[in-house]
Amino acid sequence: MTIGIMNGPNLGRLGKRVPEVYGSETLTDLEERLRGAFPGAKLEFFQSNHEGALIDCLERWHGSGIRDVVLNAGALTHQSYALRDALEGLELRFVEVHISNVYRREPFRAHSLLAPVAVGQISGLGLRGYELAVRFLLDV
């Protein structure tokens, strides 16, 4: 079983962008953390600032047999019907993850277009949310 770890817009700047909200760890730190926490698991990582690139990657993953995804779509969570349609149409089992607590921020962040087709959602637990999502997908 391989789990895809996908990050959307602006998450490539983790550790530099608004560290008081997103922390000081980088995307590379996250990848190392997950590989260390799950040494026997096969993990595929992808990040893009472009909606179409995310969808292309999901289609590639689906074609290669990946059915489980941890997804932090960033702001696309709140505005991308195309991403939602791809996730639903590919019948991927995914956990929506947000580093910050989106419900304590601007009101628009509290609405997720993706949540209705996700198996679960983790918000506000920092990078630990990714670990919890991977653990969940490995256990079910």
Distance set, CA 92 to CA 20, 37, 55, 63 (Å): 32, 23, 12, 11
pTM above 0.75, yes or no: yes
Residue 106 pLDDT exceeds 80: no
Active site residues: 22, 98
Residues 6+ away with beta carbon under 8 Å from 139: none
CATH code of the domain in which 54 resides: 3.40.50.9100
pLDDT of residue 59: 98
pLDDT of residue 130: 98
Number of domains observed in the structure of the chain: 1
Q: What does pLDDT average to over the chain?
A: 95
| pLDDT tens per residue, range 70-101 | 999 999 999 999 999 999 999 999 999 999 99
Are the C-beta atoms of 96 and 77 separated by less than 8 Å? yes
Q: Residue for token digits 């509290």? A: 110
β-partners of residue 2 are 42
pLDDT of residue 92: 95
Work out the pLDDT band at 22, boundaries 50, 70, 90. Answer: confident
Name the residue range of residue 132's domain.
Answer: 2-139
**Residue % of the chain over a pLDDT of 90:** 86
